[in-house]
A and B are shown apart, each in its own frame.
Chain A
Amino acid sequence: MIEQVPSAKVTGLFHRNLTGEVTKELHKAGLMEYYVMPSRSVTLHKRRAPFGLIFEHGIVDDPADRVIAFVPPSWGRSVANVMIRGADLSRPGRGSVLVEQVVISRAHELCDPSGNVCMSEDSFPDGPARLRDGLTGICCIVQRGQGEAVARVALETGACVPFITFGRGTGLRDKLGLLRITIDAEKEIALFAATSYDAETIMDIIIDVTKLDQPGMGFIHLFPLEGGLLNMKVFRGRHQHAASVEQIVAAIDEMKGDSRWRTVGEDLQVNGKAPRTYLRGLQCLNCICDEGKGENLVNAAVEAGAPGATTSRMHYAGRRRFGDAGISPARECITMIIQPSQVEAITDAMEAEGAFDDETHGFFILSPVTKAFTYMGPV
């Protein structure tokens, strides 16, 4: 078993057609192990009515993939650059890359990320670091069907193109016995990023739009990013200029060195609402395990005090997957937001449930959560 290994988590969000290119580049660069989560990207488009009237900004969904790689901390930016090159992300509208620093709290031996990069640093494109600083990740878990509302906020505030994956929630539901089937477990998880200046405002708008301050509606949290490249092309459609607005914004970002110049915070202020109590200083515990085992682990975690969890499916692609003892390609990822004080107890409980045996291949990742919000019950 592996314990307390710092690591970089590189998340690439690409249009499905580009995934093949990206993984090819990753293989070339020596990175052999990654996870893929099917997702969809959401963009606005001008819906045209007859007589040239535009009446609404419609939403287009595209199939996309979330490619996640865990590498030693110093490799994060390099691997992100490989993804950028592979998917040609310098062109707007193709995808985003996020890099964050995490800690692998415990993991099965086969999940050791330190061996994940087997070539020397030279084989990575160094070039100019194209990643921007000063970004904050936003992850919002809502009821199935509400994802589009969250995505619309991200798009209309000009944050970036959000990516949505499906998940199943567990929490109160599983304590109801068979009555649980009356509560829909299906969730949508929207993941995107914004400049750190705007992230909190966007979070407030999302809370308003999706009524997260009411029971059972969902959960939102912000997490720090080391860097990222965002897909700014929130609009789809023809345009008549030599460069799109998104390209111009990206160019000015690069000249200014950061994106403070386009902070929109003041305009977006939400007023007239009672002050909200946010949750701060929490930890996000991600547990990746073989599919079918997650349910028991979640039950153990909930018994040990976890408030609830969201499970999504992911595909494991890696050189260690073959053979009987290997890791199953069908994996699932459990996400729990918990108090730092609970981490030990919950991980212990899940370990006792067999999280690190040869049929589960558990892989636990801890990452900080700067700010979070959900319904807290009558205060």
Chain B
Amino acid sequence: MEAPRQPTEKKIHIGFRRAMMLIVPYVWKRIRAQVQSVWLIIVYLLLFQALVLRLAVDDALVISAGLVIVILGLTLFLEGLFLGLMSLGEAIGLRLPRKSGITVILAFSFILGVGATFAEPAIGILRMAGSSVLAWEAPLLFLLLNKHADFLVYAVAIGVGIAVMAGMLRFMYNLSLKPFIYVLVGGLVVLSAWAWFDPNLRHVTGLAWDCGAVTTGPVTVPLVLALGVGISRVVSGSPSGGGSGFGVVTLASLLPILAVLILSVFLGSSVPQPMEETFFFGPGNRSSAETLFKNRDAMRAYAFRTASEESQALLFEGGREEMLRELGRMTEDEEARSAVFGSDPEVLRRWAVERGSESQRRAVFGTEEALREAVNRYFRDDVSSLETGDLARSAVAASARAIIPLTIFLLVVLVLVLREKLPRADEVMLGILLAFVGMAFLTVGIELGLARLGNQVGGKLPALFKSVPLEEKRSTVTNFDPGTVVTALTSEGERTSFFFMRQEGENVKTVPYDPACYDEKSGTYTFTPLRGPIFEGWGGFSGILVLLLFAFIMGYGATLAEPALNALAVTVEELTVGTFRKTTLIQAVAVGVGAGIVLGVAKIIWNVPLAWLILPPYVLLLLITALSSEEYVNIGWDSAGVTTGPVTVPLVLAMGLGIGSQVGGIEGFGILAAASVCPILSVLLVGLVVNWKRRRALGGEREPSVPEVVYD
């Protein structure tokens, strides 16, 4: 507040220099905050790659540019959230219950929930997690991720829609969150346990629980949170309490799990059970297998990409010969080709070189010379070029889809339904613009920087405890001359073969020679350098320990940078007038996520069934929830929904898939679900400790009771 002064003019005009003096510290302060939140994960990944794995960082320039873009993106996006989306959400929340009836509120909530899911479809993430799912091993899961992926999105959307409705009803009637949790989590635990006995449903449980963790994205969470805070302020009967306004995110993470499980029970009846690969593609199973694909061509395309040659041949009536004839025909006939491989002939040729068998290659290329020429060409320019332009375009499109329709919907509701002016319109509009730009930056930056770095580290992690081939260092020697192979003796007299090789700009080095890697026909020798095990103590267990420690710190560090968590923590601090500090919440959640990711990695390494990972913690949570105060239950459960956001997910998945591919896990599902159960636990535990201390401080000082002396 300023001192009493004479009335001044309405607006002060500020020159450019003065404006910069205001803007520069403002921007700098926010960028610094984001640097503080992401430096740990970045420095950690770089140091781990360089010092522990002892590998150089590839594309270091692109990655560092990407990281700078991540920081800018986070800064802009968060500022945009606070200025624009959250103010808008809260403004509507404050006015909606005053101006409209319960049906309007419920309809609004449902549309908001469904719309938010369509705006931020997590299906891409889930597909990535399920990229190694095989149609014959988990048919139902395959169906949900591919042909019926839209059903999956609808189910999740309806789940979120109902969740937002239920959340608003909770505020209106001032209901506790606990019964909702007991019923939903109890039901889900029972349902998942039951699903465990059906081989098809068993694979889907991981997907379902991950859906719950993933659906609540960085735009939805803050928006729903702000809306809830607004509504509960107007309708709540209780005067205060830090928990009011939270809880919608919890429901929006639990109900989609239920929706997906129900959907899979419905679809499950018409889907074949898991079976052997050859039987799956065999003629006896044709009709039921084809239900998993759009048409026969799609099934063939899938078989060509993933199945063995034997299974591929089963799809052609004439067997192997027919298949080879068909492949030959595809090289000329564009129509036949585009049904299976797409219209670009390059795709077919590349497939033949990379995956095709000897006879398939011959069918595609015809002559030995053409094959040799193609092999040389494809192995030379193996590095896929970086499509920065495409990346930027798709990021802008994704950002626009996530933010613009939702904001327009909210503005329409505010102006047309509630007939209210938008408060601080210029600020809100600037905020929406910042959020939009920030989201696009964030997507590009993560793709270029963080995810790339995460993939590099994640793929090499198994090298900690076993030796892994460094796939991207695979090199091919064309025109190989077996005459250069030299034989050496070990001290025991064993013979080993190797040859000398000199690559551009490097010294001469020796490469072990394995006759199996030499392809006489094309004259190429392909070899993949090995790495690890880096830690060999205790029979490889020390390497696994280092890996688990890595997973913990990575989960912890990535969570610190999550924008939705930041928004939640700021809201919590604001509503509790600073008694629940932002840093306390973020630290508690980050430790929880770290622990959850350790569990998830342990699941992959030792192939622990997912049910063991998810169900006991949730049962434990039910107990702790019963003991905790309403405020902490709301905040703790909500923080579960925000943990798995744009920063954590790519890193966690890269790591999970990297380890999974080396130790033979089926899919990468379940880590995200584990990463969202543990933070609830940690926040509730913090709550229990804090409340115990407070009660002790308040009740501790009873007035000393004076024993009453009675005189007879």
Interchain pairs with CB closer than 8 A, number? 153
| B7 proximal to A (CB < 8 A) | yes
Taken together as a complex, chains A and B put the C-alpha atoms of A218 and B3 apart, in Å, by: 10
| B5 proximal to A (CB < 8 A) | yes
| B452 proximal to A (CB < 8 A) | no
**In the complex, what's the smallest C-beta–C-beta distance from A150 to chain B, in angstroms?**
13
Closest residue of chain B to A171 (Cβ to Cβ) is B2
Taken together as a complex, chains A and B put the C-alpha atoms of A16 and B630 apart, in Å, by: 13
Task: Select B22's contact among A16, A91, A179, A315, beta carbons within 8 Å.
Answer: A179
Residue from B233, B236, B704 with most neighbouring chain A CB atoms (10 Å): B233
B-chain residues with CB within 8 Å of residue A39 when the two chains form the complex = 577
> What are 28 A-B interface contacts by the 8 Å CB criterion?
A19-B240, A38-B576, A38-B577, A63-B579, A93-B698, A166-B577, A179-B23, A181-B427, A182-B22, A182-B26, A183-B22, A219-B1, A219-B2, A242-B704, A247-B703, A279-B4, A292-B423, A305-B6, A307-B3, A307-B5, A308-B1, A328-B234, A329-B233, A335-B1, A342-B4, A375-B3, A376-B3, A377-B3
A23-70 residues at the B interface, CB under 8 angstroms: 23, 36, 38-40, 60-65
A61-93: CB near B (< 8 Å → 1, else 0) gives 111110000000000000000000000001111
A-chain residues with CB within 8 Å of residue B94 when the two chains form the complex = 291-292, 330
| A337 proximal to B (CB < 8 A) | yes
A-chain residues with CB within 8 Å of residue B12 when the two chains form the complex = 172, 175-176
Q: Is the CB of B1 within 8 A of A218?
A: yes
Taken together as a complex, chains A and B put the C-alpha atoms of A307 and B694 apart, in Å, by: 40
A-chain residues with CB within 8 Å of residue B147 when the two chains form the complex = none
B-chain residues with CB within 8 Å of residue A178 when the two chains form the complex = 426-427, 430
**In the complex, what's the smallest C-beta–C-beta distance from A152 to chain B, in angstroms?**
14
A-chain residues with CB within 8 Å of residue B390 when the two chains form the complex = none
Q: Is the CB of B1 within 8 A of A141?
A: yes
Taken together as a complex, chains A and B put the C-alpha atoms of A335 and B1 apart, in Å, by: 9
Contact-residue bracket for chain A: 35 or more
Taken together as a complex, chains A and B put the C-alpha atoms of A15 and B10 apart, in Å, by: 42
**In the complex, what's the smallest C-beta–C-beta distance from B697 to chain A, in angstroms?**
6
Taken together as a complex, chains A and B put the C-alpha atoms of A292 and B91 apart, in Å, by: 8
Taken together as a complex, chains A and B put the C-alpha atoms of A23 and B238 apart, in Å, by: 11
Q: Is the CB of B236 within 8 A of A329?
A: yes
Q: Is the CB of B233 within 8 A of A315?
A: yes
Interface of chain A, main secondary structure? mixed
A190-222: CB near B (< 8 Å → 1, else 0) gives 000000000000000000000000000011000
A-chain residues with CB within 8 Å of residue B426 when the two chains form the complex = 177-178
Residue from B6, B23, B236, B694 with most neighbouring chain A CB atoms (10 Å): B694
Taken together as a complex, chains A and B put the C-alpha atoms of A164 and B697 apart, in Å, by: 19
**In the complex, what's the smallest C-beta–C-beta distance from A105 to chain B, in angstroms?**
18
**In the complex, what's the smallest C-beta–C-beta distance from A38 to chain B, in angstroms?**
4
A209-250 residues at the B interface, CB under 8 angstroms: 218-219, 233, 236, 242-244, 247
Taken together as a complex, chains A and B put the C-alpha atoms of A309 and B8 apart, in Å, by: 15
B82-124 residues at the A interface, CB under 8 angstroms: 83, 91, 94-95, 98
A228-283 residues at the B interface, CB under 8 angstroms: 233, 236, 242-244, 247, 279, 282
| B19 proximal to A (CB < 8 A) | yes
Q: Is the CB of A295 within 8 A of B26?
A: no
| B695 proximal to A (CB < 8 A) | yes
Closest residue of chain B to A169 (Cβ to Cβ) is B1
**In the complex, what's the smallest C-beta–C-beta distance from B227 to chain A, in angstroms?**
14
Task: Select B233's contact among A141, A165, A242, A291, beta carbons within 8 Å.
Answer: A291
